[in-house]
């Protein structure tokens, strides 16, 4: 695994009590490894989609390199519209959120709004980061997201059945 961490896999987590969410075990482990052992989750709004992205602290170094590469490319191609300050605020506008040993974390309201977060989160690995979707928003995406959509729907259904079984009580 690289210092950045590799985020792969899929998971669904319903919203918990007190406005908390849970970072699933596989992602929790990768974030902790990608944060040098620190239980710090970085969350940001995705640039193009109505979702969030998550990653560990080690990605910060890569974001600095990315900013430098984009600036060098803009200079080389004489792209006057590139603004380093604007791009920097886009790349570094993420929140650093602590999570406990069970993966519970509190998501600030502004991130909930940016990610259109609802009653649960679907996590989907994407290499250097992972997507954090409201399942309803993911369902609205085009067919290029079909695999994630089907997996998410199945996981949501499974979680609802499990919750109904727990809430049904014993006869």
| Residue 171 belongs to a domain | no
Cα–Cα distance between 32 and 169 in angstroms, integer? 37
CA distance 129 to 89: 18
Give the total number of structural domains in the chain: 1
Separation CA 79–CA 25 (nearest Å): 43
Q: Residue 85's domain spans which residues?
A: 10-166
Question: Are 134 and 150 spatial neighbours (Cβ–Cβ below 8 Å)?
Answer: no
The domain that holds 123 is classified in CATH as 3.40.1550.20
Question: Could you say which DSSP state residue 81 is in?
Answer: T
- Side-chain half-sphere of 114: how many Cα atoms within 13 Å? 17
Indicate whether 26 belongs to any domain.
yes
Q: Is residue 22 part of a domain?
A: yes
* 151 domain-assigned: yes
pLDDT in tens, the chain (171 residues): 344 568 999 999 998 877 799 999 989 999 999 898 999 999 999 999 999 999 999 899 999 999 999 999 999 999 889 999 999 999 999 999 999 999 999 999 999 999 999 999 999 999 999 999 999 999 999 999 999 999 999 999 999 999 888 876 544
pTM, entire model:
0.87
């Amino acid at each position: 695994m690289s210092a950045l961490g590799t985020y792969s896999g899929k998971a669904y987590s319903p919203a918990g009590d007190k406005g908390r969410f849970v970072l699933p075990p596989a992602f929790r482990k990768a974030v902790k490894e990608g944060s040098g052992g620190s239980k710090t989750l970085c969350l940001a709004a995705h640039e193009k989609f109505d979702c969030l992205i998550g990653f560990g602290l080690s990605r910060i170094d890569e974001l600095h390199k990315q900013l430098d590469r984009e600036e060098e490319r803009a200079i080389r191609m004489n792209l006057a519209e590139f603004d380093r300050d604007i791009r920097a605020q886009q790349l570094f506008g993420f929140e650093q959120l602590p999570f406990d040993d069970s993966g519970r974390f509190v998501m600030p309201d502004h991130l909930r709004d940016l990610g259109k977060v609802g009653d649960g989160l679907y996590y989907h690995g994407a290499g250097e980061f992972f997507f954090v979707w409201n399942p309803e928003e993911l369902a609205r995406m085009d067919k290029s997201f079909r695999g994630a959509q089907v997996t998410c729907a199945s996981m949501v259904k499974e979680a609802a059945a499990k919750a109904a079984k727990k809430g049904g009580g014993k006869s």
